[in-house]
Structure 1
Amino acid sequence: MLFFRVVKETIQKRSVRLFFALFLLLIVLAGIIFWVNQKEVRQPEFGITYSTIYAQELGLDPLTVYQALLTELSVKLVRLPVYWSEVEKEQGVYDWDQVDQLMTLSNAHGVEVTMVLGEKVPRWPECFIPDWALELSEQEREQVLKEFLTIAVQRYQSFSSLERWQIENEPFFPFGVCPERRNELVFEEIALVSDLDDHPVQLTVSGELESWWQSALHADVLGFSLYRVTWNKTVGFSVYPLSPTFYRIRATVMKWLTQKVIISELQAEPWIFISLDEQTTEFWSELFTPDDFEKNVQFAEQTGVSEVYFWGAEWWYYLRMQGFDSLWNYAENLFDSQTVFVKH
Structure 2
Amino acid sequence: MLKKIIKYIAGFFLVILAAAVLLLAYFNFPVSEENKDAQLGVTFSSRYASDIGLDWKEAYLAMLEDLNIKKIRIPVYWDLAEKEDGAYDFADVDWQLQEARKKNTEIILVVGQKVPRWPECFIPNWVGDDAKNRQEKLSRFINIVVERYKSNPEIKYWQVENEPFLSFGICPEFDKNFFDREIALVKRLDPSREVIVTASGEISIWSRSAKRGDILGTTLYRTIWKEGIGYFDYPIGPRFFHLKYFISKLLTGNSRAFIIELQGEPWISGYTTNGPLEEQFKSMNAEKLKENVSFARKVGFPEIYLWGVEWWYWLKVEKSHPELWETAKELFAQNRVDQQSAPE
Whether TM exceeds 0.5 here: the answer is yes
State whether residues 41 and 301 of structure 1, in contact with CA within 8 Å, keep that contact through their aligned partners in structure 2.
Answer: yes
Shift of 1:337: 0.8
Once superposed, what is the RMSD of the aligned Cα atoms?
Answer: 2.6
Contact 1:204 1:222 in 2 (8 A): yes
- Tell me what 1:84 maps to: 78
1:201 CA drift (Å): 0.3
Paired positions, count: 316
Say if 1:217 and 1:314 are closer, same or farther in 2 by CA, change over 3 A: same
Shift of 1:214: 1.3
Provide the rounded CA distance (Å) in 1 between the counterparts of 2:65 and 2:186.
31
Report the equivalent of 1:284: 280
Q: Deviations over 1:137-156 (max 9, x none)?
A: 11111001000000000111
- 1:34-45 to 2 correspondences below 5 Å: 41-43=34-36, 44-45=38-39
Q: Please name the residue that 2:3 is paired with.
A: none
Q: Which residue of 1 aligns with 2:114?
A: 120
Measured after TM superposition, the shift of residue 185 of structure 1 is: 1.1
For the residue of structure 2 that corresponds to 1:102, the secondary structure is: helix
- What corresponds to 2:329 in structure 1? 332
**Seq. identity, %:** 39
Taking a change above 3 Å as real, the CA distance of residues 279 and 175 of structure 1, as seen in their structure-2 partners, is closer
Instruction: Tell me the residue number matched to 1:195.
Output: 188
2:306 is the counterpart of 1:313: no
Q: CA deviation at 1:252?
A: 3.6
- The secondary structure found in structure 2 opposite 1:165 is strand
Change over 3 Å in CA distance of 1:274–1:192 after alignment to 2: same
Match of 2:164 in 1: 171
Q: Of 264, 271, 278, which residue of structure 2 is paired with 1:268? A: 264
Q: What CA distance in whole angstroms lies between the structure 1 residues aligned with 2:200 and 2:285?
A: 24
Partner of 1:48, secondary structure, is strand
Q: Could you say which residue in structure 1 is the equivalent of 2:132?
A: 139
Change (3 A) 1:151 1:278: closer
Q: How far 1:294 sits from its partner (Å)? A: 1.1
CA–CA distance in 1 between the matches of 2:283 and 2:57?
27
State the AA in 1 paired with 2:95: Q
For 1:49, the equivalent position in structure 2 comes to: 43
Q: Is the 2:224–2:283 Cα contact (8 Å) retained in structure 1?
A: no
Residues 224 and 268, structure 2, Cα contact 8 Å, conserved in 1: no
Instruction: Identify the match of residue 211 of structure 1 among 205, 216, 219.
Output: 205
2:289 alignment counterpart: 293
Residue type matched to 2:156 in 1? E
Structure 2 gaps, min length 5: 1-7
- TM-score with structure 1 setting the length: 0.85
SS of the residue 1:339 aligns to? helix
Counterpart Cα distance in 2 of 1:98 and 1:176: 24
Q: Using a 3 Å threshold, how does the CA distance of structure 1 residues 216 and 145 change in structure 2: closer, same or farther?
A: same
**8 Å CA contact retained: 1:251, 1:305:** no
Q: Whole-Å Cα distance in 2 between the matches of residues 313 and 277 of structure 1?
A: 13
Give the number of the structure whose alpha-carbon radius of gyration is greater. Answer: 1
1:159 to 152, 170, 185: 152
Tell me the TM-score normalised to structure 2 length: 0.85
1:67-93 Cα distance to aligned partner (Å, 9 max, x none): 110111010111111100110010100
Give the 3-state SS of the residue equivalent to 1:214 in structure 2.
helix
Match of 2:102 in 1: 108
Map of 2:87 onto structure 1:
93
**C-alpha separation in 2, matches of 1:39 and 1:272:** 30
Q: Distance in 2 between matches of 1:277 and 1:65?
A: 16
Determine the C-alpha separation between the residues in 2 that align with 1:201 and 1:241: 31
- Structure 1 residues 286 and 180, CA gap change in structure 2 (3 angstroms): closer
